[in-house]
Amino acid sequence: MKPAERETKRKNKNRRAAILCCAALILLLPTGLSSCDKITGSSAGDPVRREVFAMDTIMDLTVYGADGGEAMNQAVDLIHRYETLFSVTNPDSDVAKINRADGEAVSVSPETWELLERGLAVSESTDGAFDVSIYPLVKAWGFTTGKYRVPERAEREQALKKVDYRKIRLLPDNRVQIEKGMELDLGAVAKGYLSQKLMELFRKCGVDSAIVSLGGNVQTMGRKENGEPFVVGITDPADGSGIYGTLTVENRAVVTSGIYQRYFTEGGRQYHHIMDKSTGMPAENGLASVTVVTEDGARADALATALYVMGEKKALEYQKANPDIELVLIRRDGTCFTTSGLSFRRNRAAE
């Protein structure tokens, strides 16, 4: 397939994800609102809803309560601020600054420093399955630039020499230093960090009920206006467009990493975007997607990526040792496993 065709496929995928996003939210909206109505600044008590395209995905935000309009305006500003700070491709971002520092320490925003600190904690607890210094490998595969290709083994090995989260130094005064040749990519945690900070912002603005859906990342606060808990759809990884099942949650982030979110096909084989450092290849272990449900969005996002790489057995061991998280593991054969603390309903139409 030509690069342009692959790019089109990716864009179609993004569009499908956006539609799914709307579809999932239909479950959440009060009767009478269609999924794609855009409400900006409605009367007190009505939900305020906004769609924003950022971080290469469509973000769908809904807040309930009297101060929703002002909260929403601040939320949109925050989204654009974080997009500028964390983008690996924007030369003005903190990440780009770190990546071109040639081994020197650079000053970054407190949020970038904090996000790295959070990410490193997950790298340590997952033995590097999640590693924000993965960018040389991601770049070799053409993910993030859209120029997809399968790199030769020698090239993968070369890229992997530069991947090691233990060499990221977080210094006082919000400074960060990485070795010459290393490069960071926060794509596996930035949206989760954003959804967490959106909830904190909403709370500060007096909002006590909200839901945001940022691509594969959903986070909720409180309950719907009618007093019922939010219901979040889990995408069917078999086609990336249907709903496999639903989760009923309160004050939770629901974050999914899966093979359907970004991929390309070459020589009849499909290659997705979640990398296994031990091979330099997309992780292959029988899983099609991992959904992590927990309170903190950043932790959920980093862990969804890590546990996908680790595979079912290790993911379940990890969950046993960390009972603050709950999991939905969907296998390539279409079967699933859910941990016991979840209120999960399989969509029978997806069977």
Interface mask (CB under 6 A) for ligand AMP, residues 272-311, using x and -?
-xxx-------------------------x--xx---x--
CB of 63 to ligand AMP, least distance (A): 24
What CA–CA distances, in Å, run from 244 to 152, 287, 309, 345? Answer: 35, 14, 21, 9
6 binds, among ligand AMP, Mg ion, none (CB under 5 to 8 A by kind): none
What stretch of H or E contains 248?
strand 243-249
The count of chain residues that interact with Mg ion, using the rule CB under 5 A, is: 4
Q: How far apart are CA 218 and CA 231, in angstroms?
A: 11
Amino acid letter, residue 112:
T
| Cβ nearer to ligand AMP, comparing 209 with 261 | 261
Do 308 and 291 contact (CB within 8 A), yes or no?
no
196 binds, among Mg ion, ligand AMP, none (CB under 5 to 8 A by kind): none
Residues numbered 120 to 179 that lie near ligand AMP (CB under 6 A) are 130-132, 134, 138, 143-144
What CA–CA distances, in Å, run from 128 to 47, 165, 234? Answer: 41, 7, 26
Interface mask (CB under 6 A) for ligand AMP, residues 202-241, using x and -?
--------------x-------------------------
CB of 50 to ligand AMP, least distance (A): 23
Do 79 and 231 contact (CB within 8 A), yes or no?
no
55 binds, among Mg ion, ligand AMP, none (CB under 5 to 8 A by kind): none
The candidate with the shortest Cα–Cα distance to 136, out of 99, 85, 104, is 99
Contact call for residue 304 and Mg ion (CB under 5 A): yes
Among 62, 213, 220, 257, binds ligand AMP (CB under 6 A): 257
Residue 221 contacts by C-beta under 8 Å, 6 or more apart in sequence?
A: 199, 202, 203, 207, 208, 209, 210, 211, 251
Among 214, 301, 330, 344, binds Mg ion (CB under 5 A): 301
Alpha helix stretches (DSSP H) within 127-221:
135-140, 153-160, 190-204
CB of 3 to Mg ion, least distance (A): 26
Residue 231: other Cβ atoms inside 10 A: 19
Which residue ranges make up the site for ligand AMP (CB under 6 A)?
Answer: 130-132, 134, 138, 143-144, 185, 187-188, 216, 257, 261-262, 273-275, 301, 304-305, 309
